[in-house]
């Protein structure tokens, strides 16, 4: 089962992480230089929740922002 929010469809996305070296120009240096990049995933904060769906109780993955908004009818 994929980790996707049941109510809003939020899922993990790919991004990048950079490693910088040097002293910033504001502090009198020559500037920052990128010495390496790597791929990473940004994952949403998903929780397993028992909720009422079509008059039955099911366990679903829901993000915390949807739980706080009250979009999920907890069982």
pLDDT digits 0-9 by tens, 23-58 = 999 999 999 999 999 999 999 999 999 999 999 999
Task: Say yes or no to pLDDT of 2 above 80.
Answer: no
**Residue 36, SS3?**
strand
Mean local confidence (pLDDT), 4-28: 96
For Cα atoms 45, 53, 11, give the angle at the middle one, nearest 5 degrees.
25
pLDDT at 1: 57
The model's pTM: 0.73
Residue indicated by tokens 């908004």: 69
């Amino acid at each position: 089962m994929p980790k996707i929010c049941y109510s809003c469809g939020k899922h993990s996305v790919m991004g990048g992480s950079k490693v910088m070296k040097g002293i910033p120009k504001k502090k009198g240096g020559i500037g920052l230089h990128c010495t390496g990049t790597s791929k990473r995933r940004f994952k949403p904060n998903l929780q397993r929740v028992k909720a009422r769906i079509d008059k039955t109780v099911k366990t679903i993955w829901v993000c915390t922002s949807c739980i706080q908004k009250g979009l999920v009818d907890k069982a």
